[in-house]
Amino acid sequence: MAREGTLVLALKERCEFYELIENYGISILTPYVIDRGCRIFCVYGNSEDLEKYIDNLEAYYGKNCVSVKKISIFECLRSQMRDSIALFVLSTLTEREREVLLRAYRLGYLSPRRKTSLRELSLEVGLAKPTTSIMVRKALRKLVQGVFETAT
């Protein structure tokens, strides 16, 4: 089943997450990505405000629930756009297609000099050889189609 994109604008009067941003004079760069419950975003502001913001964010969500990597604004934008496109393209695959394609990749089936055979891959994923072959080709086609559609 193909997934489709929809632009949604939602106004929420009170949000603790956004209150933290406003309290510390921090700005969020877009795109802001939520993937499987994880918020991925870039923030910028002066160093002192950023440190206070991150401390408060860790106190609010728990230190082990917040991961921070300091990068430039331009690197952040590049990363966010790349991640957003990758998530969008991967979202066109079914869970099973993702699983089979990931196994094919990790086992070396997609390498120029294959490190595993279709037979070994099909045994690993628990499917018949023809089904495995079709699933890999179908998933790759969806990914390539998504990349080209996004790029044009």
Residue-wise DSSP of 69-97 = ----HHHHHHHHHHHHHHHHHHTTS-HHH
Tokens encoding 138: 């179908």
What residues contact residue 76 under an 8 Å CB cut-off, 6+ apart?
A: 29, 42, 44
Write the pLDDT tens digit of every residue in 104-152.
999 999 999 999 999 999 999 999 999 999 999 999 999 888 878 876 6
Backbone angles phi, psi at 23, to 5 degrees: -65, -30
pLDDT at 117 (0 to 100): 95
Residues 86 and 20 in one domain: yes
Write the pLDDT tens digit of every residue in 69-100.
888 878 877 777 777 777 777 888 999 999 99
Domain that holds residue 127: 95-151
Write the pLDDT tens digit of every residue in 21-77.
788 888 777 667 777 777 777 888 888 888 888 888 888 888 888 888 888 878 877
Q: Does residue 3 belong to any structural domain of this protein? A: no
Q: Does residue 2 belong to any structural domain of this protein? A: no
Last residue of a domain, one of 70, 90, 110: 90
Residues 25 and 81 in one domain: yes
Which among 32, 30, 26 has a CA at the least distance from the CA of 51?
26
Which run of H or of E encompasses 38? strand 38-44
pLDDT at 120 (0 to 100): 96
In DSSP terms, 42 is beta-bridged to: 29
pTM for this model (two decimals): 0.53
